[in-house]
A and B are shown apart, each in its own frame.
Chain A
């Protein structure tokens, strides 16, 4: 390390992981995580209002507040909560994991201030009713110009943080803070950062014109807006996927000592994410009048589903790494001993596994199916859409973020996890709740129940329509699952806030096995056996449990996919 840098940066060494941690990185992780959790709280309060309104029997909110809170929910959850958390992940995967200083601490704090200012402006606009346009703000629906400005400030701040992450990689390499290649987790975060840059540039391409349009300076074509907006909106989901998969690998390592089965395959799969992301905008335009069939087919499939291939690869390598890691601990019997003996009471591990299953089985399968050009005729703007993405970005990404927080609290904040008993059931409550929520919403959507709709009883509409009674049941289940998930989020927030601000400090050098308030992986790691005999045995068997899991996955996928073609084939002929 150069002398100047050594003077500027203050480090501490983590006695558990052996990582060397820069003070600025640590503090930036803290503030981003805290704001992330505050916005999560706003989002979840809105969510409770939304589910209780869509549950037609309760129908809680008046019409204007339904759409206002829908706007607030989309923005706070999808944009603020997720992105602040990802900023924290970038500071963790960069400076912390590479043992490097934050290259430009002042700029880093400046970009945080920018994001915060943007957030505050947007919140004021939304809650004062000056931006009842939902988070998509499709023109000609118009919000106050300050709204677009707030989003731009936030996005510029986020762009700077990704640039700082890139700079960290360069500085770490130059100052030789690590040897060999960057760890897989950092590599995954790097792909997330690259995608973030592409995405945020789309963001500039759409929000700057939208700001100008809202000021009456230019005109804006509604279809071009939709194309570019989703270049931002859907690509940013690829950031989430890359970040979430990186966290899966991270949690696998922290909780059970999962190994990287093959660096080449995992890294190649990450690279595939980068290649095809901008194309995903097409998922939202499949039944739009703007584009032709060739464009739709090519783009919706990310050039022949290569990004889907990437996710299917991670869907194998992540559990395979966990299985190998556990087999190395001597759980070698049968197909599933490793799974039975896994630390299910560790919220980090439980969250990781539930996130993996919900993301893959529900989110992945429903998403690829309704992203098929023709099948989208059955799904566009129905409740199938939120049913799908609450399985991906909520059951998958948000759950993985919560799970890793149970490790960040002891490792970064150096506190015990408060409300430990509740925290241990939290991933289950959340996972089961969001599963019920997503599946019942999807079923309601199969009946054609629209998303973003205040009153499907059409009580005041000129032509009446009544959905079949099954829909009432589905919406009631949606509400119950949603409330379970919301309760779990509140537990998570309470646990995190109490831990961080009022929690018991933790001496990381003096951990004892089975200590309350400390995730199991940190204290009770049964040793992995690395004698060549065990390793050879594990290598010989491979990962039979994972093979069974992915085979079941593929079967469900094929069945769901072709059932949808069957459903499509009976409706009116359309062409």
Chain B
């Protein structure tokens, strides 16, 4: 009876006592669940298809901008809404530059093919948010985030900025067009966005 007290009371004597059966069971169950939570992450690296590892490197904003310009010069097929439209060959390195307040350039990819998508910013932090699939990555100036991506569905995707980047944050939308597998050489696409 003396041993029953509230948490406001300074316990006297030795309180380091064995726990009851129910507490022991709950602690054990919780511990096992925590281990499962932990194991899922390495497991998904081995078995799963979506991991944020990527190829990570530092890059000077100027250097990244030059790579983007070269990339556009190599594969440009037109322009849309004021940004170049670029159709790189499957398997290539693809560049997407974030800046206040634009995703630059717009990309044309092919379904089922793998690309390395390089993300970086030349000013402040931005956030890569792919719609309607809701895939998200942080875009940090000075860092090149190279993600191996394999679009698994054709469609006209949008890129939204989801890291606050100043007063024009809400103007920052971009485009990734994924063509159905095996469709002929990419043709220029009509002006204007969908929907």
Q: Write the residues of chain A forming the contact surface with B, with a CB cutoff of 8 angstroms.
A: 17, 63-64, 67, 97, 132, 134, 138-141, 178-185, 188, 221-223, 226, 246, 249-250, 252-254, 257-266, 285-293, 296-297, 300-301, 304-306, 308-309, 312-313, 316-317, 320-321, 324-325, 328, 368, 372-374, 376-382, 446-448, 450-456, 458, 460-468, 530, 532, 535, 539, 542-543, 546-547, 550, 554, 557-558, 561, 565, 568-569, 571-575
Contact = CB atoms under 8 A, between A and B. Distances in A.
B131 interface: yes
29 contacts: A140-B123, A141-B166, A222-B141, A223-B143, A260-B5, A261-B23, A263-B11, A263-B15, A297-B42, A308-B34, A312-B26, A316-B26, A377-B136, A379-B136, A382-B136, A447-B134, A448-B160, A452-B169, A453-B162, A458-B171, A463-B175, A530-B1, A535-B4, A568-B50, A569-B48, A571-B50, A571-B152, A572-B50, A574-B52
Interface string B1-20: 10011111111110111011
Contacts of A382: 129, 134, 136, 162
Nearest to B9: A183
A182 B5 CA distance: 13
Interface residues of B, number: 97
A139 B127 CA distance: 14
A545 B26 CA distance: 13
A463 B193 contact: yes
Contacts of A293: 45, 51-53
B6 A259 contact: yes
A313 B30 contact: yes
Contacts of B52: 286-287, 293, 296, 373-374, 376-377, 574
A226 B124 CA distance: 12
A380 B142 contact: no
Contact of B151 (A377, A464, A572): A572
Nearest to A446: B134
Interface string B123-141: 1110101111111111111
A529 to B, nearest CB: 10
Contacts of A297: 38, 41-42, 45
Nearest to B102: A462
A532 B140 CA distance: 65
B10 A178 contact: yes
Interface string B144-156: 1101111111000
Given A287-B136, A301-B41, A372-B40, A381 B162 contact: yes
Given A263-B11, A292-B56, A378 B136 contact: yes
Contacts of A460: 170-171
User: Which of B124, B152, B153 has the most chain A CB within a 10 Å cutoff?
Assistant: B124
A458 B173 contact: yes
A181 B10 CA distance: 5
Interface in B145-187: 145, 147-153, 158, 160-167, 169-175
Given A289-B145, A317-B23, A463-B158, A573 B7 contact: no
B18 to A, nearest CB: 8
Contacts of B26: 312-313, 316, 547, 550
Contacts of B40: 372, 565
A575 B4 contact: no
A377 B4 contact: no
A462 B143 contact: no
Given A180-B13, A554-B29, A574 B173 contact: no
A572 B19 contact: no
User: Which of A67, A249, A447, A573 has the most chain B CB within a 10 Å cutoff?
Assistant: A573
A185 B17 CA distance: 19
Contact of B17 (A262, A317, A467): A262
Interface string B64-91: 0000000000000000011100000000
B125 A222 contact: yes
A543 B125 CA distance: 50
Contacts of A539: 20
Nearest to A253: B6
A550 B22 CA distance: 11
A572 B147 CA distance: 11
Given A266-B7, A291-B56, A575-B53, 13 more contacts: A138-B124, A141-B164, A254-B8, A265-B19, A265-B23, A288-B138, A312-B34, A316-B23, A320-B22, A446-B134, A448-B132, A574-B150, A575-B147
